[in-house]
Amino acid sequence: MQPSNPLLQPWNTPYGLPPFDLIRTEHYAPALEVAMAEQVDEVEVIATSALPPTFANTIDAFDRCGASLSRVYSVFGNLTSNLTNEALQAVELEYSPKLAVHSQKFYLDSRLFARVDAVYNARHNSGLDEVQIRLVERLHLDFVLSGAKLDATKKARLAELVEQLSQKCTTFGQYVLADEDQTIIVFDSQADLAGLPTELIEAAAQCAKDHGHEGRWALTTSRSFVEPFLTRSSRRDLRKKVYDQFSARGEMHPERDTKPLIAQILKLRTEMAHIHGHQSFSDYALVSRMAKNPANVADLLGQVWPAALKRSREEQQLLLSVAKADGLTALEAWDWRYYAEKVRLRDYQLDDGEIKPYFTLDNMLQAMFYAAGRLYQVSFQEVTGTAPLYHPDARLFEMRRADGSLQGIFISDNYSRTGKHSGAWMSNYREQSEGVLPIVSNNNNFTQGKPGEPVLLSFDDVETLFHEFGHALHSLLSEVKYEGLSGTNVLQDFVELPSQLNEHWALAPEVLAKFAKHVDTGASIPPALVEKVRKARTFNMGWETVQYLGPALLDMALHSLGDANGFDAALFEREESQRLGVPSEIGLRHRLPHFQHLFTGEGYAAGYYVYMWAEVLEADVFSAFEEKGDLFDPVLSARLKLTLLSIGNSVDPAQAFRNFRGRDPQISALLKQRGLA
């Protein structure tokens, strides 16, 4: 151990949190080296054991090894997403490939796999329980998909591919982040602010001040800035300017154009699939998902895409009828949000400016805690002054069971800032296992206004808050013996079920009555306004669905290519969008040059469809509460926790769904939920 390196010392901190106040960038590289070496030694003991392979000395031992590396990387990985800088990015660029190769070599170790394979072959007659068998089967599949059965030549090439992919995916993420952090759109006059709500103007003034443009107004290309601007700005020329900058992330500057990286990543992934005996990367990636194969994904998306296009064409005509009053004869992508807001205001009398005063961030945090408490018999209490965190924006909460015992630690980090990746996500600092409590964080990118003033959320923001908290609950509620099966370590097309499901409780009448209070008057949100929100939920859903499904279909087409030689990302995006019929006035929520889901790692590659797959599941789950007529029905919520949220991956997800619903999922609830039935 290095006594001066806090990452390698015991963390004598409250809850075993990382000692954020002591950790410096220069600590990461030596800590990662020491922790990797420790894991090599631990695996060597397993692989060279003279004892016959058993679940305990092979599977369980492998599941538990690498604890030091997990601890160090949890801090490193989280801070490269939340609070990065040039020095930390340099470490990330150097060590991401090293870490990928480090992990891969264990799965390619023939001695270790022989032991895993022996336990796998004897799993049904060696006295193992169902959870242990599940862990054996999942671990064995991980080894196979990582190349354990390949010959030595293919193993060597696969290790090279993994290293190269890690380096290129890390570079992709850094390029996009640089475009987001360094692209500042400055406005010089009050006329540039026409149509914008007060809170956005104040946030833009603060943004300008933060970036050295005191006395003016500015936006970054963060979605939390761009979408409100496109929705409210009456300056069509500036809407186009902002939209173009937002759309161009990842290709703004030749020196960090991501399109060549995309071609390289796709070529490497396709070669990886071929080495494993699959025609395309999508064939390879879906082996370990609920969908199983690209045909099943195509079947699901194909049922929704035509209905979404049809609805979007109807919406387009409706919006154009309003836009004609401004002299427009056709809509462009930078017009849709603006005129949709006008129609929403006209037809539903629903204005974001009327809604947002009822949704302060602090109240909505309490709302999501309350809903979770009612559903799952837990409570949340903020803890201040006892443990330094990595940034003043981060807040710490205890989650306790009904009997008062501590079940997990939750970190809430809600504001956008330089050095923080865009979007919203959940992550772990420590995963749950027997005797180990989870430490979970939610990371959002809401826009702060003036210091000390309440942050007001749109209802979309509220749903994002509840969505990410659904992921957090999935980890916090986990009650699984083995870390490899706990929390969100589930199949990729199941992982979004808890998050999307949790969004529904943002509109629960009881939750709104208690927490949707006007920021100035304290009055509860009027029932009539809530009803407007409900009625408007399926408004513009054709656009919403096309915006999501377009990238999902693009992802599957991209990763279904059997030959990636000579791939041209710009040409492919253009031609595939035309083939699919993506309306130009809607466009893609994620264009390939900044599609971080696909190109910053392998998790969502050939997997962006998972949100729709999981929505089929969650819509069907939520319909059980609707049928019951009680969103907090104690029997249903207890069954939900028992069968879906606390089990991690210890039960096959298809069977887990049947255990809750009593049958297989049906798509009808999703189509109804989106207003596409």
Q: How far apart are CA 128 and CA 131, in angstroms?
A: 8
Q: Which of 445, 447, 443 is nearest to 219 (CA)?
A: 447
Quote the longest CA-to-CA distance of the chain. 82
> Measured between alpha carbons, how far apart are the two ends of the chain, in Å?
61
pLDDT digits (tens, 9 = 90+) for 508-548: 999 999 999 999 999 999 999 999 888 888 999 999 999 99
Q: Is the confidence at residue 324, as pLDDT, over 70?
A: yes
For the segment 631-674, what is each residue's pLDDT rounded down to a tens digit? 999 999 999 999 999 999 999 999 999 999 999 999 999 999 99
The DSSP element (H or E) to which 411 belongs, if any, is strand 406-415
3-state secondary structure of 592: helix
Same topology for domains 6-149 and 357-536, yes or no? Answer: no
Q: What's the confidence (pLDDT) of residue 45?
A: 98
CA distance 569 to 575: 10
Domain ranges of the chain: 6-149, 183-248, 357-536, 612-673
- Provide CATH code, domain 6-149: 1.20.1050.40
Q: What tokens appear for 11 in the block?
A: 């963390």
Q: How many CA atoms within 13 Å lie on the side-chain side of 582?
A: 25
Report the sign of the C-alpha dihedral through residues 79, 81, 86, 90, in that order. positive
Beta bridge partners of 415: 446
- What pLDDT digit, counting tens, does each position of 384-429 carry? 999 899 999 999 999 999 999 999 999 999 999 989 998 899 999 9
- pLDDT for 347 beyond 50: yes
**Helix H or strand E encompassing 44:** helix 25-47
- Name the E strands within 185-296: 185-187, 217-219
Cα angle 161, 165, 169; round to 5:
180
Taking Cα atoms as reference points, which of 385, 390, 636 lies closest to residue 505?
636
pLDDT, tens digit (0-9, with 9 covering 90-100), for 135-155: 999 999 999 999 999 999 999
Q: What is the pLDDT of residue 351?
A: 82
Instruction: Confirm or reject CATH 1.10.1370.40 for domain 357-536, answering yes or no.
Output: yes
How does strand 185-187 pair with strand 378-383? unpaired
| DSSP code string of 46-107 | HHT-SSPP-IIIIIIHHHHTTHHHHHHHHHHHHHHHHS--HHHHHHHHHHHHHHHHHHHHHH
Alpha-carbon dihedral 636, 468, 366, 529, rounded to 10 degrees: -80
Q: Is the pLDDT of residue 597 over 50?
A: yes
Q: What is the pLDDT of residue 3?
A: 59
Instruction: Please check whether residue 280 is in contact with residue 273, taking contact to mean a CB–CB distance below 8 angstroms.
Output: yes
Kindly state the tokens that stand for 423. Answer: 């979007």
Residues pairing with 439 in the sheet: 409, 430
* Secondary structure tally for the chain: helices H, strands E: 27, 7
Average pLDDT over residues 4-33: 96
Q: Helix (H, G, I), strand (E, B), or coil: what is residue 442?
A: strand
Per-residue pLDDT of 483-513, as tens digits, reads 999 999 999 999 999 999 999 999 999 999 9
pLDDT reported for residue 52? 98
State the catalytic residues. Answer: 468
Residue 94 vs residues 170, 358, 601: alpha-carbon distances, Å? 9, 46, 16
Output the six-digit token pair for 56: 């305990």
- The confidence score (pLDDT) of residue 558 equals 97
What confidence score (pLDDT) does residue 295 get?
97
Tokens standing for residue 503? 């969004």
Average pLDDT over residues 263-278: 98
Cβ contact 23:5 at 8 Å: no
**What amino acid is encoded at 166 in this protein?**
S
Mean pLDDT of the 12-29 span: 96
Instruction: Give the sign of the dihedral formed by CA 74, CA 98, CA 592, CA 548.
Output: negative
Is the pLDDT confidence value at 2 over 80? no
Distance CA 387, CA 215 (A): 37
pLDDT attached to residue 1 = 44
Give the distance from CA 101 to its chain's centroid. Answer: 24
